Amino acid sequence: MNIKINAKYHLTSDSKQYILHKKKGKNETKTFFTSIGSVVKSLINDQVKENDKIKTLKQLGKKIDEYAEEIKDCLHK
């Protein structure tokens, strides 16, 4: 599996794990997961933490829904 999620993230896998690749400037980090649910939670968590525009719980909930939909769309292509 090799799925591009957006310009910053892509997901690969082997027979035992999922690997989330994250671009950081010229470098790339890899995080390993045993379930796709854990990958999705991590992606949403990272994107929410990096969003400086979230100021209320209502905005947080809306952004979580938006990120979840974006990830869902990538996985269903």
Q: List strand residue ranges (DSSP E) for 1-77, in order.
A: 2-4, 9-13, 18-24, 27-33
Instruction: List C-alpha distances in Å: 77 to 6, 43, 71.
Output: 13, 18, 10
Query: What does the pLDDT look like over 8-66, one tens digit per residue?
Result: 999 999 999 999 999 988 999 999 999 988 998 898 888 888 888 899 999 999 988 98
DSSP 50: T
> Which two structure tokens, joined as six digits, stand for 34?
């045993």
Instruction: Give pLDDT, residue 77.
Output: 63
> Which two structure tokens, joined as six digits, stand for 60?
């947080």
